[in-house]
Amino acid sequence: MFQIIYRETLATKIHLFKIEAPAIARKALAGQFVVIRIDEKGERIPLTVADWDEKEGSVTVVFMEAGATTSRLALLKAGDSIADFVGPLGIPSHIDKFGTVVCVAGGFAAAVIGPIARALKDKGNKIVSILGARNKDLLFWEDRLRSVSHRLMVTTDDGTYGRKGVVTGPLKELLEGEEKVDRVIAIGPTIMMKFCAQTTQPFGVKTIVSLNPIMVDGTGMCGCCRVSVGGVTKFACVDGPEFDGHQVDWELLLTRQRIYLEEEKRSLEQWQAQMGKRA
């Protein structure tokens, strides 16, 4: 069992768990993920490693309540334990000296892009970050991302904080600006990553995205996380999750993410009904 040693709600329906997992804390690198299972009957879900502390033997994950499993997870408290916490999985982010790197984060990705931006900054890159959310209540860790960036811009769809609009607005302006952009890293909802890749493509700027197809085992065995990149089939859990955004078949990914919508809806309703009975 893996104990939750600290928990915090960062924004509406977005929670941070610090989990005691010394073996993973020793090996984790930016861009990797873990697969967790709350209990023996639970569904396996992947979560990106948002931070780790080798000395403390802890790994931090940040998750957004999306359906039944993440809603169940949100009810756990510090001191509770989860059955499985497997990782680190996936290929770590490619960290090198590129020049000026624009890091774009949407939704829960404000947490996961932090270690990547930090590692890139430590390598000597200039980091310009764009943080986006639907509204002010969903924003978190602005300060943390600012501390690993040379410049940070914040957008909200409804204009309740920062600049009104979506992340592709400032991204396009940066690409059109005088300073050369050498690389873009975009992490967040699939649709956001797709539009970031479409924005950068005419400028020919390499754009890395972290794909989030449905995953089960996270070790390349079930085939569930199949994606198509440059016309070649890849398994996001072992070949990724980061890929060249200009090569991704976005329509296939979006379609495959929706395969179990009915089951996911039913599962959430069952969970909500169960909770209603208990209340």
Ligand X SMILES: Cc1cc2nc3c(=O)[nH]c(=O)nc-3n(C[C@H](O)[C@H](O)[C@H](O)COP(=O)(O)OP(=O)(O)OC[C@H]3O[C@@H](n4cnc5c(N)ncnc54)[C@H](O)[C@@H]3O)c2cc1C
Applying CB under 6 A, the residues found at the interface with ligand FES are 215-218, 220-225, 235, 237
- Picked from ligand FES, ligand X, none, the partner binding residue 198 (CB below 5 to 8 A depending on kind) is none
Percent composition of the chain: helix, strand, coil (DSSP 3-state, to 5): 30, 30, 35
Name the residue nearer to ligand X (CB basis): 61 or 167. Answer: 61
Residues of 95-106 as b/e, b for ≥16 C-beta within 10 angstroms?
beebebbbbbbb
Count residues contacting ligand X (CB under 6 A)? 26
d(CA 4, CA 82): 8
> What tokens were used for 53?
């502390």
48/100 with CB nearer ligand X: 48
What would the two tokens of residue 77 be?
Answer: 């408290």
Strands (DSSP E) along 112-150, which ranges? Answer: 126-133
Q: Are strands 126-133 and 45-53 parallel, antiparallel or unpaired?
A: unpaired
In angstroms, give the least distance from the CB of 253 to ligand X: 10
Residue 76 binds which of ligand X, ligand FES, none (CB < 5-8 A, kind-dependent): none
Nearest CB to ligand X, comparing residues 84 and 182: 84
Task: Give the strand order in the sheet containing 183-187.
Answer: 163-164, 151-156, 126-133, 100-106, 183-187, 207-210, 242-244
Contact between 70 and ligand X (CB under 6 A)?
yes
Q: Which is nearer to ligand FES, 171 or 225 (CB)?
A: 225
- Give the CA dihedral 108, 119, 229, 254, nearest 10 degrees: 0
Question: Please, which residue, 80 or 182, has the CB nearer to ligand X?
Answer: 80
Of 10, 59, 101, 112, the residue at the interface with ligand X (CB under 6 A) is 112
Residues 6+ apart with CB under 8 A from 274: none
Our CB check for ligand FES shows the closer of 5 and 224 to be 224
CA distance 197 to 184: 9
66 binds, among ligand X, ligand FES, none (CB under 5 to 8 A by kind): ligand X
Question: Minimal distance in Å, beta carbon 152 to ligand X?
Answer: 20
What's the closest the beta carbon of residue 174 comes to ligand X, in angstroms?
25
To ligand X, the closest distance from the beta carbon of 195 in angstroms equals 17
CB under 6 A: which stretch of 94-102, 178-186, 191-199, 213-221 binds ligand X?
213-221
The reply to whether 2 sits near ligand X by the rule CB under 6 A is: no
Identity of the amino acid at 20: E
Residues of the shown chain interacting with ligand X in the complex, contacts defined by CB under 6 A: 33, 43-48, 61-64, 66-70, 108, 112, 212-215, 241, 257, 264, 268
